[in-house]
Amino acid sequence: MIIKIFTGPLNYNIQSLYTKEENEYLIGVDAANLLLIKHNIPIDLAVGDFDSVTNDEKKMIMDVAKKVELYDSTKDYTDTNLALEIALQKSFDKIVIYGGLGKRTDHTLANIFLLRKNKIELIDDYTKMYVLKPGKYDIKNEYKYISFFATKTVEHLSIKGFKYELDHFTLAKNDPLCISNKGEGTVRFDKGELLVIHQNE
């Protein structure tokens, strides 16, 4: 099953990013539920404190969604984090988070940290990002740039087939060496965590 989480900011084109799949479970976070309703996309679960919608909009969301998880606005975690924690309790092949990147740097950073939980992608109109665990990966890239960052020091990193290649390199946590690569190819490493960012202009 693919779990798809739709969150804010609502600065992405849902029609170009979202494709209906047979085995999917859709979670709307706070005001993102209005975007799903606008495009007649069914909501399996609505999550949030709904502090960014009007009372009438909140009622509409609660009427349309199959299930609602309502939280207090003074909670310890972001709505997106709460939605992800619910998703992680289910059996899934992959989790895709739509949105989550925008003007609120604190929320953006929090959402990037969530990627470390495994098998999660964060997507908007210009960016796709995810974290890889040790192993070998054939990476397709439909974006202009692809960058690699170590969220934990990456050992024996080999990048082959891309414009800029590496062979058994140790990429430290704060090293920007692998920014703005191009093309597609194979990535392999033995230890650490690698944040992969595909990006257009």
- Specify whether 91 is located in the same domain as 21: yes
Query: From CA 143, how far away is CA 172, in angstroms rounded?
Result: 25
- 9-52 pLDDT, tens per residue? 788 899 999 999 999 999 999 999 999 999 999 999 999 999 88
Residue 18: what are its φ and ψ, rounded to 5°? -95, 130
Residue where a domain terminates, one of 90, 125, 160: 125
The reported pLDDT for the residue numbered 100 is 82
- Specify whether 99 is located in the same domain as 160: no
Number of domains the chain is built from: 2
Question: Residue 77: which pLDDT band, with cuts at 50, 70 and 90?
Answer: confident
Question: Residue 78: which pLDDT band, with cuts at 50, 70 and 90?
Answer: confident
Q: How many angstroms separate the Cα of 107 from the Cα of each of 79, 81, 88, 97?
A: 10, 10, 19, 13
- 101-128 pLDDT, tens per residue? 877 788 788 888 889 887 899 999 999 9
49: its two tokens: 């404190």
Contact at 8 Å (CB) between 78 and 5?
no
- 146-188 pLDDT, tens per residue? 999 999 999 999 999 999 999 999 999 989 999 999 999 999 9
- Residue found under tokens 């003074």: 74
- Specify whether 90 is located in the same domain as 180: no
- Specify whether 119 is located in the same domain as 141: no
- Residue found under tokens 């990627």: 115
- Specify whether 10 is located in the same domain as 64: yes
The reported pLDDT for the residue numbered 111 is 83
Of 121, 118, 110, nearest to 134 by C-alpha is 118
- Specify whether 77 is located in the same domain as 99: yes
Domain around 148: 131-199
Residue 163 parent element (H or E)? none
- DSSP 8-state assignment for residue 173: T
- Specify whether 97 is located in the same domain as 191: no
> pTM of the entire structure?
0.89
| Average pLDDT value for residue range 50-60 | 94
Query: From CA 180, how far away is CA 182, in angstroms rounded?
Result: 7
